[in-house]
Structure 1
Amino acid sequence: MSAPTPPAAPKDPQFPQDQPIPGAAPASAPAAPAKPSKVKKFLGIVALLVAAVAVKFGIAYVFNSPVHAEAGDCVRVTGSENNPEVDTKDCGDKDANYKVVKVVKDTFDVKACTVGEAALAQEWDAEKFVLCLDPVKK
C-alpha cells in the first residue's frame, strides 16, 4: 500500500514562481572568487624562485659530492681521470673495482699514497682528502 501524496502547493496567481516578489530584496548574484592580494602573489613568486635555486644547486651538490669512504670500504670508480665518479659498494659487489687502503686527510697530494696504489683526490666543502686505492681482486 502506498502513502497518499500530499497535494501540490497552490500557486498564487499574483506571484508567479519565476518572477521576483515586489518589495522583496533582489536575489544576490554569486560572489566572484576573491583575487589574491599582490603581496600573496609576490610571496608565491619568491617561494618558487627559492625552490628553483635550491633544486638547481642542492641536487647537484648532493649527487656530485665526493665519497666519504673509509679504509676497508670498496668503491666503484668510473669516468675520466680528470672527472672521476666514485660510488661506495659492498666489497662482494661485482661492480666494486677498488678497495680503500687509507684516507689521507687535509691534502690533495696524491703522492701521499704508497707506490702501486691508485690515488684519488677529493674535496667536500672545505674538507680535502686523498683516497688511496688498491684494485679489488676477483
Structure 2
Amino acid sequence: MSQPPPLGGPNATHTPAQIRRNRLIFLAVVLVLAGMVTFSALGPYDTEDQSATLKAGDCFQNVGTDKAAKTKKLDCADPHADYKVLKMVENAVVDTLACSDVPGTTGSLTRSGSGKWFVVCFEDNDEKGEK
C-alpha cells in the first residue's frame, strides 16, 4: 500500500508562484476589509446635525427620525428641502413657548449645542422644486 501525499505542514514546499499568489490573496482580503471599515465609518452621506447653523430663511431636510431629528441645510429650491426656518430662538428650552408667537409655525425642535440651548421654529417649505 502506498502512502498518501503529505498535506501542507512544516515540511511542505511551496513554489515562489504559490507564495506570491497567497500573499496577493491576503493583501486583497485586507484591502477589502479596510475599505468596508472606511465606508461604514465615513459613509456616502453626511449625518452630522446642522441645527446650530440654521437661521431664519434657511431650509433643511430631516435626515434623522421624528423622535431623533437631524437637520441637513439645503437650498430652498432643492426638492429635498422639506422645511423652512422661521425663527431661531437662543437660550430657549420649551419649543412650544418659544414658537407660540411665530405665525405660520408648523413644527419646532429643541437642541443643546456648544453648551447652549436653542429652538428652531419652522414651517413646510413651499419653495422646494419638484422631484
Shorter-chain TM-score tier: 0.5 to 0.7
Residue of structure 1 equivalent to 2:48? 64
Mapped partners of 2:63, 2:49: distance in 1: 14
After superposition, the C-alpha distances for 1:46-101 in whole angstroms (9 at most, x for unaligned) are xxxxxxxxxxxxx9xx9534422000000111322221110100011111000000
Mapped partners of 1:99, 1:124: distance in 2: 20
Determine which of 89, 94, 114 is the counterpart of 2:74: 89
Letter in 2 for 1:135: D
**Greater helix content:** 2
Q: 1:92 to 1:131 in 2, by over 3 A?
A: same
Q: Does 1:136 align with 2:125?
A: yes
Determine which of 108, 115, 118 is the counterpart of 1:119: 108
Indicate the structure (1 or 2) with the bigger Cα radius of gyration: 1
Q: How many residues get paired?
A: 78
Unpaired stretches in structure 1, ≥5 consecutive residues? 1-58
Residue of structure 2 equivalent to 1:18? none
Percentage of identical aligned residues:
27
Unpaired stretches in structure 2, ≥5 consecutive residues? 1-41
TM-score normalised to structure 2 length: 0.52
CA contact (8 A) 1:98 1:136 kept: yes
The one of the two structures with greater contact order (alpha-carbon pairs below 8 A, sep at least 6) is: 2
**RMSD between aligned alpha carbons?**
2.2
Map 1:30-41; keep pairs closer than 5 Å: none
Q: 1:66 to 1:93 in 2, by over 3 A?
A: closer
Letter in 2 for 1:84: A
SS at match of 1:84: coil
Letter in 1 for 2:76: C
Q: CA deviation at 1:134?
A: 0.3
Which region of structure 1 is more displaced relative to structure 2, 74-83 or 103-112?
Answer: 74-83
TM-score normalised to structure 1 length: 0.50
Residue of structure 2 equivalent to 1:102? 87
SS at match of 2:67: coil
